[in-house]
Each structure stands twice: as C-alpha cells, then as structure tokens.
Amino acid sequence: MGNGCTSLATKRYNLLISRKHRSTSIGDENQEAATANVEERYKTEEDMKMIMNALASHFILKGLDEDSRFEIARTMKHYTIGPREYVFEEGKPGQSFYILASGRLEVVMNGTKKNLISPGFGFGELALLDARPRTASIISIEKCHLWGVDRDTFKDAVRRVNLLGHEENKKFIDNISIFKSLTQAQKDRILASLNTQRWGNGQKIVREGDYGTLFYIIKEGIATCSKNDLEVRHLGKGDYFGELSELYDHSRSATITAVGDVKVVSISCQSLFEILGDSLQQIIYKNSIRIAIESSQVLSALKKSQIEKLLDYMITTRYQPGALIIPKGTKKGEYLYIVLRGSAVSLSGRKYGNLTCIGDRDLLVTPNCDFIDDVIAEIETDVSEISKATIEKCIEGDLKEITAANDLKVILDNVFLFTGLSVTKHQALKNSLNVMYFNDRDSIILENRPGEYFYIVKSGKVVCRKGNKRVRIITKYDYFGERALIYGTTRSASIQADGPVICWMIGKSAFLDLISEEIRARIEHRIELQEISISLADLTIIKPLGKSMFGNTFLMANRARNRLYSVKALLKEKIEKLGIQMNLQMEREIALQMNHPMLMSIVDTVKDAWRVYFISEYIKGKDLFCILKEIQLVSEIHAKYLIASVALIFEYLHERNIIFRNLKPENMIIDEEGYPVLIDFSAAKIINGRTYTTIGSPHYMAPEVILGSGYSFNADWWSLGIVLYELLYGKVPFGEDEIDPHSIYEKILEHRISYPSSVLQTNSAKPLIQQLLNKNPSARTGGGTKAFKCNIWFENLNWGRLRTKALKMPFVPKFLDLDNEIEEALNSPKNRYEVFEAEEISDPIKSKIYDREPSLHIGWDNDF
C-alpha cells in the first residue's frame, strides 16, 4: 500500500472529493413550461408509435420493459407552447421529460445556442430520477407541440406496472404446483429472473419439435395448443407451457400460437437450473421436506447441515386415494412422516395437510403408545418417511441432546453477549435454557415489576416501551431483561410481543452464575448506551463531524459520564419542507433495533422546538473515503477482510428485512481495531418484498434502483461489488470521471466492466466482482449469504472469529489525539444552539428560525 502525493494520488483525491460532496440540489418550486397549455389528449396510433420510439431511445427508459414504457406513454400530457418560450431553464430543478411532436426547439447553455431539437426527439429524462438542476435551457423557435410526463407521474406509472406485474408473477409462482414447495428465497429469485414478452396474432410462441429453452406463463390473452397441426386445446390467463422440454430436456411437444395479442412471462432454462439445480423433481421433494422440518418446533433446532443429511435418507412414496399410510398400532416415536403433497386423514378425523410433520414431537420422548387409528391418503398424496434410528445416525447422536446443543451453539454464535463464555459454562448455559412461546401483543415484561428471567429472542420481535414512549425494538438473537437482574431493581421498561415470538429464557440465579466480570462489563456498557434519560443539556459540543443533505453531525461530550457521543441535528422546518418525516421515523425505528459490533449504536433520540436529534455512540476511527485518499489502494487481504465484514453486516440487516441502500466508503468508519462500522441509516428501509425509490449515491447504485422498476436486498450486494472494485483498483467501475448523474447512470446501464492493467492486483477477486455486479439481481450472492461466504475468494477465512472481531485486521488507521480538543471545549463550552445555527447558515432551505415562534408540527416527531 503506497503513500505520497503523486499525480495519481492527487487526481484520485480530487475525484473522490468531487464524489463526496455531490448531492441533490433543492430549490424553490419552479413550474416548467409555465406558459404552455397543458391538457389530457387522445393519442392516435401514430402518436403512440412516435412516443414509444422516443422512449426506447433513451438510456433510462429503454431499460424498462415494454409494459412500463406503454404506461408512461399513456400517461403523457400534451403541451402547446408559443414561439420564444421556455420549456425549462438552465439551473432550475428538473421536473419533466418531454418529446417534441412538432415544431423546433433550441438548446442554450450559458447564453450560447448549442443545438436544435427536431420532432420525435425526447429530452430532459434525468428529471425523471431527481430534481437536479437543468444543465441547459430549452426554448421554442416557433409554436411547438410536445408530450410530457413529470417525475411523480413517471415513477407512479413504473411502480404501478411493476408492482402489478410483480404481484401477478408472485401469484403465478404460488399457484404453479411444481413451485409451491419452494422456499420464499427461491421464489424471489425466480421472480427476479422472469421476463415479460408480447406476441401478436398468429405468431408462434413455441414450435413443435424445437428444442425448448424457456418456460412460459400466459398473463393476458389466448393461445392455441396444437400437435401435428391439429388443435388440442386453448390456453388462457394463468396457463403455462414449455415445462416438459424445460425440465426434462425434451424437444417441444406442441406448437403454441397467439390468438390476438398475448402477453407471457418466461424464465430461461439456465436461470431455473441455477436456482433449483439439475434435478427439479428431487429439488422440489427436498425443498418440501426442508420446509416441513424447518417449520417443526422440534426439528427446526437441527443445523442446516444436519437437515441436509436427512434429505438423502428420506424415502418418498406416492399413495392413491384411500391407501393406507400408517397402520393402526404402529409404535409412536420410531418414525417421522412428512406429507409433501396432498392430504392424509386418520379415521378419528384428524387431517394432515401439505408440509405437515407427523410424529415429530414423539421423537424427543419415549411414548408408551401406538397410533390408535389408521392414517390414510385422502387424495393422491406423496409422503416421505425416515426412522428415528436413521435420523440419529445422520446427526451422529441422540436427537434430544443434539437439538439442545444446537440451541446452545446458535446462542454462542449469534448472541454477542456470550462471546468468550468459558467452556466450563457452556453446559451450564445449555442446562439453564427454557423455550417460551408468545402470541402477538403478549406482555413479556411489565415496567416496575420484579425481574426473574433473562430473555433471548429466538424468532420474531418485541417492542420496548417506557411509559408511553416506544424506545426500542428487539429482534432475533438480541436480548433483554438484564438490567433488573444485574442491579437487583424492578423492570425499567415494558416488553411486548410484536407478532408471534419465541424466546429462550434463563432464570435469575442461573444467569448471575453464568456471567463473568467481562460479560458484566459488556452488559453495563450496553445499559449505558441505552440510557434513555440523556438530554442535550448534559452534552457539550466538541466540534462538527460532518454534513449531509439532511443535517449536521457533531462530536459531543458528557463530562459526568466521561463519554463521547455523535449527535446528528436535523432542522424540523427542513424536514417538513422536503417531506421526509416518514424517512426520519423509519431511520429511528431501524437505528433503535441495531445491536451489532459493526453497526453504530444509537443511544436515544430527542427533540426541542426546532430540531430532532439522533444521539449515537461515537466511533473512534476514520472513514474509508479518507483512508483511500491517503493510501490509494488496499491490499487484497485487507479488501477481503473489509468485504467479508460488510457481508456479515448485510446478513444481519437483511435477516431483519432492512435494506441499507447507501453503501459507499464515506459511510464506512474504520474503527481503532481496523474493522468497518456502517453509519448513517438515513437511506435504509424496512421492506417486505420490493421497494421502488431511486435513492443512494450515483456511482454505487444498482441498475434496478436507477430504473425504479423495483428492487430488494440484492441492490446492496451490487454496491458491495462497486466497493470491492474500488478497493482493489482505486476507482469505481462505472463513470469514474463523471460528475453528472445522467452520465453515471448511463455508464452503469451500459454495464461495460474493464480492469486497469496499470494496477498490480491479482485476478482472484475478478470472478467475485463479476458475480456481485451481475445485472440479474438474483445471481449476485450465488444463492444467498451462505453461498456468498463459501466463495473461493474467502477460502480459509474464519467467519466466526471475524464476526466477533477476534481476527487481527491487516490495516489499522492512525488517529489524531482528541484529548486536548475535548478538554478545551469542556472548559470553554459554546452555546450549542449558536453552533447548530452557524452550521445551518449555508443551507438554502434554512430560515431565520429564531426570528419567530417555532412552527407547529403535526405529530410526526412524537416518538423522538
């Protein structure tokens, strides 16, 4: 790794600086084409053809599917504008995209005529993404007719089409029998790989005898199915075809012909097999068994590797209606049965539906009883079975003992509190664990009541409230209830289940016996971090730490506690002006549930009449952006540790349905141990399915984010691929020399990846870069986080030690000593409000808030 002020370093620094300070400009409301007559107008076939051709020629719009472009064309309004009038002005925020239908327009930059626009040409498309200032003025030479669509209408149209298509495709996947047993992750990957196609009347979608490479589903219209030129049947919405050749490598067995306009979705053979493997039927059976086992309260404690072993020993039998599956008198506890498809029923009337385990609870006890009724197939039914002896052979031990041991390992691997627990106490922890099940809204802990148990969330989430204030969300593998046990006090807050929740519980005496002085110190550190009585009056400003589009961050100190905090101050007036109240609420909700050593922990949120504040722990470190400025490149081993660390963070976030959406070097603090800590959750979001907002830093945005066509967690993995490339090659792969977002987006959508020969790096990371920067989102992890961690580039990396920050990082940055600066600030404290206001002076949205009474707000900040 090099240092020094070479010309390359200077160029690299200047480019990084230009990227770091890019942000969307926000100005006053400006109405484009203000003198035009704007109306809804019927579009002729020629109008639609011209509009569709124009849409298909622009880089943002040609990346959309035909349905989206059609919906955009349908929503475009007609503009009539006189001669020498502005369509829009240079420097003003962009609002709309236009297509010239007739007349002539000129392009003017800095007062100089640059170009002419002729009919059929579209312009201003960058405004469809954000409100960045126009780079030129467009002025009519003569009376002109245009078609235009504003940003909100455009995004609504794309979102509407893609959401409708996504929901239709989701229902399609759910209703096709061969896909019903897939995991949700596999279904999501199939959804991401589907393509939409249109066929005109009489067109052959597939031809009999041709080799098949696609599997189809009809979304709209009718098609005929014929064999040997004889029509066999009609196919309509929801019918699918191509599956025999697709799944069994046969030629097409029939010809499918469109009758009128037909719309289909398809998935390629390669994509299907990448997702499901070579033997689809076996994959489906195994998936069904896997889902049933993972849904069993007893067997879900098995490790994934143990479950995988069981799959190879399950024997599957197909039973016709009325066939005997389990004879009366069969001894319980000796076999596990799983209904994979169909349904079974006992003579006493008990029914067993799809993916139901029969006899799983009996495996953990030694029941002295038999099945008292025959169990028969109600309809054609597939059932897999395996003996308890085979199960214990596969898992190499007693089932009851191993499930308990697995629970222990899960806790040791995922509950950071118990990292480093002595081996002698492992057995004590296992023996003290009890499992409790809670329903939605069940009270688990009541404020001011005595504390008797320590809790760890095994699944689900709970809400922590103090009085009427919702102060924290606690999720999978996080814990609660420790304060009252440690200090011998009553409960300081109430805990309520938010949906179904399973918790591990440890009694008070067992818990206190378990914890060492080191563990107690961790607990007290966390208690202090979560101290909810902190106020701004307790804090003294040391210095500003940074600025963002939405607020300013300060280093502040609490002398009484001898602690430093990072405090982000956000002006309420600006928040309301920008309409980001819900974003702030989302950021708060996400920040309050973070408990990971490589994520910045929030202490509390507070407010006053003018601002809301995020008070977080101060991470002593330096952001990766500044480090790259200093050292230019990192070594491959250093890059490997950093990328692997972020992968663990993504695993934590995505498991909690949180998408980060703004990974870049500026948002990665390298702490005093050399580990990356992600900061700034302003772009993060809790999602269930897909989201559509175009958000993030241009160079790091995935293609699907730019297009606004719907995306999910895989967009984060694209950003990780950009960072990996940047670490190894000293620049981003797309638009390195570009500042204009339009140009950056175009480079990303062109997707031409090259590797500089001047940089001396090995080629071993290139396959991983190519994988992460795949335009197909579902291919980026190679099959999920577990598959990603198995990539050969990470060979011999100890993920467990990395997760607990037990590995020595290959690079630790040097830091300036802040002691003198802190002492000086504490001895001569500044008026914090004057400092806040001084930092806000340059903000174009900021008003003189002290010249009037604070504005009234409508409750969005109640929880702050």
Percent pLDDT > 90 in the chain is 29
Residue type present at position 94: G
Identify the pLDDT of residue 143.
Answer: 95
Look at residues 70, 232, 139, 19 and name the one whose alpha carbon lies nearest to residue 664: 19
Is the distance from CB of 485 to CB of 511 less than 8 angstroms? yes
Q: Cβ contacts of residue 571 below 8 Å, gap of 6+?
A: 551, 610, 611, 840, 843, 845, 846, 849
Identify the pLDDT of residue 698.
Answer: 92
Confidence of residue 178 (pLDDT cuts 50, 70, 90): low
d(CA 835, CA 829): 11
DSSP state of 590: H
Confidence of residue 850 (pLDDT cuts 50, 70, 90): very low
d(CA 617, CA 631): 27
Confidence of residue 12 (pLDDT cuts 50, 70, 90): very low
CA angle 653, 656, 658 (to 5 degrees): 55
> What are the b/e assignments for 606-639, b being 16+ CB within 10 Å?
bbeebbbbbbbbbbebbbbbbbbbebbbbebebb
Of 16-30, 99-113, 177-191, 672-686, least confident by mean pLDDT is 16-30
Identify the pLDDT of residue 860.
Answer: 82
Confidence of residue 400 (pLDDT cuts 50, 70, 90): confident
d(CA 238, CA 176): 9
Of 102-106, 338-342, 636-640, least confident by mean pLDDT is 338-342
Q: Is the pLDDT of residue 705 over 80?
A: yes
Dihedral (CA of 480, 483, 486, 488) sign: negative
Confidence of residue 385 (pLDDT cuts 50, 70, 90): very high
Diameter of the chain measured on Cα atoms: 95
Identify the pLDDT of residue 308.
Answer: 84
Look at residues 598, 634, 664 and name the one whose alpha carbon lies nearest to residue 765: 634
Q: Which CATH superfamily is domain 280-401 in?
A: Jelly Rolls (2.60.120.10)
Identify the pLDDT of residue 647.
Answer: 95
Identify the pLDDT of residue 1.
Answer: 38
Element (H, E) at 612: strand 611-617
The label of the residue with tokens 């080191």 reads 518
Mean pLDDT estimate for the chain = 83
Higher pLDDT among residues 595 and 143, named by residue: 143
Question: How large is the average pLDDT for residues 280-287?
Answer: 70
Q: Is the pLDDT of residue 492 over 70?
A: yes
Question: How large is the average pLDDT for residues 184-209?
Answer: 79
Confidence of residue 253 (pLDDT cuts 50, 70, 90): low
Is the distance from CB of 568 to CB of 574 less than 8 angstroms? no
d(CA 43, CA 75): 10
Q: Which CATH superfamily is domain 415-529 in?
A: Jelly Rolls (2.60.120.10)
Question: How large is the average pLDDT for residues 27-37?
Answer: 73
Q: Cβ contacts of residue 73 below 8 Å, gap of 6+?
A: 43, 48, 51, 52, 55, 147
Of 246-255, 469-478, 481-490, 618-627, least confident by mean pLDDT is 246-255
Q: Is the pLDDT of residue 534 over 90?
A: no
Is the distance from CB of 280 to CB of 178 less than 8 angstroms? yes
CB-based burial label for 303 (10 Å; 0-12, 13-18, 19+): middle
**CA dist list (Å): 393 to 310, 314, 390, 396, 422:** 9, 13, 5, 5, 30
Identify the pLDDT of residue 849.
Answer: 38
CA angle 76, 82, 84 (to 5 degrees): 115
Question: Helix count (H) and strand count (E) of the chain?
Answer: 28, 41
The pTM (predicted TM-score) of the whole model is 0.70
Confidence of residue 853 (pLDDT cuts 50, 70, 90): very low
Look at residues 506, 466, 508 and name the one whose alpha carbon lies nearest to residue 484: 508
Confidence of residue 858 (pLDDT cuts 50, 70, 90): low
Name the CA dihedral angle for 812, 813, 819, 822, rounded to a multiple of 10 degrees: -120
Q: Which CATH superfamily is domain 621-803 in?
A: Transferase(Phosphotransferase) domain 1 (1.10.510.10)
Question: In 3-state terms, what secondary structure has residue 598?
Answer: coil
Q: Cβ contacts of residue 184 below 8 Å, gap of 6+?
A: none
d(CA 477, CA 463): 14
Confidence of residue 186 (pLDDT cuts 50, 70, 90): confident
Higher pLDDT among residues 165 and 390, named by residue: 390
Of 185-194, 248-257, 448-457, 742-751, least confident by mean pLDDT is 248-257
Phi, psi of 155 (to 5 degrees): -65, -40
Question: How far does the chain reach from its first CA to its final CA, in angstroms?
Answer: 45
Q: What is the DSSP string of 364-419?
A: GS----B-SS-EEESSSEEEEEEEHHHHHHHHTS-HHHHHHHHHHHHHHHH-GGGT
State pLDDT tens for residues 764-823: 889 999 999 998 887 888 877 888 998 999 988 998 888 888 899 998 888 878 888 888
Identify the pLDDT of residue 19.
Answer: 42
Dihedral (CA of 767, 770, 776, 780) sign: positive
d(CA 831, CA 540): 9
Task: Tell me the two tokens of residue 429.
Answer: 């922890």
Count the Cβ atoms, other than its own, within 10 Å of residue 858. 8
Name the CA dihedral angle for 282, 385, 309, 286, rounded to a multiple of 10 degrees: 20
Q: Is the pLDDT of residue 471 over 50?
A: yes
State pLDDT tens for residues 55-93: 888 877 777 777 788 888 999 999 999 999 999 999 898
Higher pLDDT among residues 73 and 467, named by residue: 73
Q: Is the pLDDT of residue 292 over 50?
A: yes
Task: Tell me the two tokens of residue 278.
Answer: 């070579």
CATH 3.30.2270.10 fits 539-619+816-851, yes or no: no
d(CA 692, CA 166): 12
Q: Cβ contacts of residue 562 below 8 Å, gap of 6+?
A: none
Of 359-363, 539-543, 857-861, least confident by mean pLDDT is 857-861
| Ramachandran area for residue 838 (φ above 0: left; ψ -120 to 50: alpha; else beta) | alpha
Task: Tell me the two tokens of residue 197.
Answer: 């196609």
Alpha helix positions (H), 64-150: 66-75
Q: Cβ contacts of residue 767 below 8 Å, gap of 6+?
A: 792, 793
Task: Tell me the two tokens of residue 595.
Answer: 């408990």
> What are the b/e assignments for 816-828, b being 16+ CB within 10 Å?
eebeeebeebeee
Percent pLDDT > 70 in the chain is 88
Which fold, 176-276?
A: Jelly Rolls (2.60.120)
Confidence of residue 27 (pLDDT cuts 50, 70, 90): very low
State pLDDT tens for residues 206-216: 887 776 667 78
Question: How large is the average pLDDT for residues 166-184?
Answer: 72
Q: Is the pLDDT of residue 164 over 90?
A: no
Question: How large is the average pLDDT for residues 468-497?
Answer: 89
Question: How large is the average pLDDT for residues 239-251?
Answer: 52
Q: Is the pLDDT of residue 759 over 70?
A: no
Confidence of residue 23 (pLDDT cuts 50, 70, 90): very low
Task: Tell me the two tokens of residue 690.
Answer: 């897909």
* Half-sphere exposure at residue 255, Cβ-oriented, CA atoms within 13 angstroms: 15
CATH 2.60.120.10 fits 37-151, yes or no: yes
Confidence of residue 11 (pLDDT cuts 50, 70, 90): very low
Identify the pLDDT of residue 391.
Answer: 92
Question: How large is the average pLDDT for residues 229-233?
Answer: 70
Residue type present at position 441: R
Question: How large is the average pLDDT for residues 744-765?
Answer: 82
Of 71-80, 392-401, 403-412, least confident by mean pLDDT is 403-412
Q: Is the pLDDT of residue 658 over 60?
A: yes
> Boundaries of CATH 2.60.120.10 in the chain?
37-151, 176-276, 280-401, 415-529
Identify the pLDDT of residue 20.
Answer: 40
Look at residues 566, 575, 584 and name the one whose alpha carbon lies nearest to residue 610: 575
Is the distance from CB of 801 to CB of 517 less than 8 angstroms? no
d(CA 657, CA 685): 8
Identify the pLDDT of residue 172.
Answer: 72
Confidence of residue 289 (pLDDT cuts 50, 70, 90): confident
Identify the pLDDT of residue 841.
Answer: 62
